[in-house]
Amino acid sequence: GTVSLWGGRFSGKPAEALAALSVSTHFDFRLAELDIAGSRAHARQLVAVGILSEDEGERLCAGLDRLRDRVVSGDFAPQPGDEDVHTALERGLLEELGEELGGKLRAGRSRNDQIATLIRMYLRIEARHLADRVLALIDAILTQARGAGDAIMPGRTHLQHAQPVLVAHHLAAHAWPLVRDIERWCDWDRRADESPYGSAALAGNTLGMDAQAIAADLGFSSCAPNSIDATAARDVVTEFSFIAAQIGVDVSRLCEEIIIWNTKEFGYVTLDDAFATGSSIMPQKKNPDVAELGRGKAARLIGDLTSLLSLLKGLPLAYDRDLQEDKEPVFDQIDTLDVLLPAVSGMVETMRLNLARMEELAPQGFSLATDIAEWLVRQGMAFRRAHEVAGACVARAEARGIDLDELSDAEFADIDPALTPEVREVLTCRGSVQSRNGVSGTAPEAVARQLNALEERLTPL
Ligand code: ARG
């Protein structure tokens, strides 16, 4: 039957409409195993402070273990009368142990410190799992980068041809933000590593329980220093959520590029059949749906973060029931990334890069104009003037419908006497990329070092 956690001062049962609004088991029951772990740690403390005898403590823990097995096997599930995961499990425990012993567990704790602890435990587990999924995507990107060797492609700003870059350099630029996202989770984890358990409803518990011991039992390094903050704060959720949203944004940029690269006009990539979809009417179609969903899922990941921030804005201390609404958005982010990341990894892993096409387009669009200007600077010309001279070369080539390297020696000399035939050294994409050999640059040796440095930065949570 239904278990109510209060009743003493109430004369009637809650209205059905209240119960329907209040219920959260359909989303918070995923915390059931962690709730039971918390209860076990709590029971041990109740023994330590003498509220429970040794024997009662053992029977309670055995009952909790049986309940956990029933949860895992699916034999125990929430019922319509259960309000939340905590109420559902209390019903289960009373079924296992009877009212007398089962009713002793709740001393000294509140659902407020319970839920604040459980959400941290859950997010810490999921952060590790999702970080592994992000690592797998980084791995897929790096494999493509290494496979591209020294191939060159058009580097773009404003989506216009800018300067030639190594394909590997460009691909790795999609991996670095993901490396930082994992590092963000590592950093977040230090702040999440504090247990609110023992804070009770808001003011702390009166039973002398050792919150530090419970924290250690539940895998936390320490217990939270302020019980009011510990039960009311959810910045641990919003910060996790920001990282999830940022991953969505980073993945969406990669996906957008793949969508563009996959067009007939670009022709940079061929998607594997397993990661492309067809059209129900147009037989020729092969669509990049995975990449489009990657772009689209970013919207809900951002929306979830926005929901959470809006939820918390202006809430007074301490616990307010509004806080129950923190779960669905962050659970949605977890579930979304859990299906999105493997699909994007698979698409990246299996796509074929058309390196010849990229190389063919690399010198187009006057992408070597900066190289002319910088060559002139090396000959002693002021950059301001060199920029103008190189611009004049572009204008001349554009007017004739040719590329920069097709200008004749006489034309170069006519534009400016400083433009001797030696300028042709920098009028190849190969020469252009090789000259950008600074730490972060696109020269092949620099990029090789960057790929190694990136691999060294990869650490699981
Ligand atoms: N289900 C609630 C939540 O998720 C925890 C219960 C606290 N409820 C309360 N009325 N004090 O936040």
- Our answer on whether the CB atom of 359 is closer than 6 Å to any ligand 1 atom is no
Over the stretch 182-221, which tens digit does the pLDDT of each residue have?
999 999 999 999 999 999 999 999 999 999 999 999 999 9
- Our answer on whether the CB atom of 24 is closer than 6 Å to any ligand 1 atom is yes
Distance 41 CA to ligand 1 centre (A): 20
Distance 84 CA to ligand 1 centre (A): 8
Over the stretch 232-273, which tens digit does the pLDDT of each residue have?
999 999 999 999 999 999 999 999 999 999 999 999 999 999
**Whether residue 279 lies in the annotated active site:** yes
Over the stretch 84-130, which tens digit does the pLDDT of each residue have?
999 999 999 999 999 999 999 999 999 999 999 999 999 999 999 99
The yes-or-no verdict on residue 368 having pLDDT over 80 is yes
The single residue of 11, 26, 73, 158 carrying the catalytic annotation is: 158
CA distance 361 to 331: 44
What local confidence, expressed as pLDDT, does residue 290 receive? Answer: 98
Assigned architecture for domain 112-147+157-360 = Up-down Bundle (1.20)
Nearest to 354 by CA among 68, 147, 94, 163: 147
- The domain ranges of the chain are 16-107, 112-147+157-360, 364-427
pLDDT band at 425 (very low <50, low <70, confident <90, very high): confident
Between 64 and 283, the more confident residue is 64
The ipTM estimated for the assembled molecules is: 0.95
Residue nearest ligand 1's atom 6 by CA: 111
- Our answer on whether the CB atom of 115 is closer than 6 Å to any ligand 1 atom is yes
pLDDT band at 460 (very low <50, low <70, confident <90, very high): confident
Percentage, residues of the chain above pLDDT 90: 92
Nearest to 201 by CA among 312, 319, 41: 319
Query: In CATH, what number does 364-427 get?
Result: 1.10.40.30
Q: Does residue 444 contact residue 150 with C-beta atoms inside 8 Å?
A: yes
The single residue of 53, 221, 222, 279 carrying the catalytic annotation is: 279
3-state secondary structure string across the chain: CCCCCCCCCCCCCCCHHHHHHHCCHHHHHHHHHHHHHHHHHHHHHHHHCCCCCHHHHHHHHHHHHHHHHHHHHCCCCCCCCCCCHHHHHHHHHHHHHHHHHHCCCCCCCCHHHHHHHHHHHHHHHHHHHHHHHHHHHHHHHHHHHHHCCCCEEEEEECCEEEEEEEHHHHHHHHHHHHHHHHHHHHHHHHHHCEECCCCCCCCCCCCCCCHHHHHHHCCCCEECCCHHHHHHCCHHHHHHHHHHHHHHHHHHHHHHHHHHHCCCCCCCEECCHHHCECCCCCCCCCECHHHHHHHHHHHHHHHHHHHHHHHHCCCCCCCCHHHHHHHHHHHHHHHHHHHHHHHHHHHHHHCEECHHHHHHHCCCCCCCHHHHHHHHHHCCCCHHHHHHHHHHHHHHHHHHCCCHHHCCHHHHHHHCCCCCHHHHHHCCHHHHHHHCCCCCCCCHHHHHHHHHHHHHHCCCC
Q: To test ligand 1's pocket by mutation, which of 21, 27, 112 has the most ligand atoms within 8 angstroms of CB?
A: 112
- Our answer on whether the CB atom of 323 is closer than 6 Å to any ligand 1 atom is yes
The yes-or-no verdict on residue 8 having pLDDT over 90 is no
Measured CA to CA in angstroms, residue 220 lies from 92, 118, 121, 217 at distances of 27, 12, 9, 7
Distance 19 CA to ligand 1 centre (A): 13
What local confidence, expressed as pLDDT, does residue 383 receive? Answer: 96
- Our answer on whether the CB atom of 26 is closer than 6 Å to any ligand 1 atom is no
Burial class (CB in 10 A: 0-12, 13-18, 19+), 344: buried
Pairing assessment for the beta strands 194-195 and 160-166 based on DSSP bridges: unpaired
Q: Does residue 150 contact residue 446 with C-beta atoms inside 8 Å?
A: no
Distance 386 CA to ligand 1 centre (A): 68
The yes-or-no verdict on residue 1 having pLDDT over 60 is no
Q: Whole-number mean pLDDT of the chain?
A: 96
Confirm or reject CATH 1.10.275.10 for domain 16-107, answering yes or no.
yes
**Whether residue 158 lies in the annotated active site:** yes
Q: Please report, as a single letter, which amino acid is at residue 27.
A: F
- Our answer on whether the CB atom of 262 is closer than 6 Å to any ligand 1 atom is no
What local confidence, expressed as pLDDT, does residue 3 receive? Answer: 61
Q: To test ligand 1's pocket by mutation, which of 29, 111, 326 has the most ligand atoms within 8 angstroms of CB?
A: 111
pLDDT band at 453 (very low <50, low <70, confident <90, very high): very high
CA distance 255 to 120: 31
The yes-or-no verdict on residue 5 having pLDDT over 80 is no
Residue nearest ligand 1's atom 5 by CA: 111
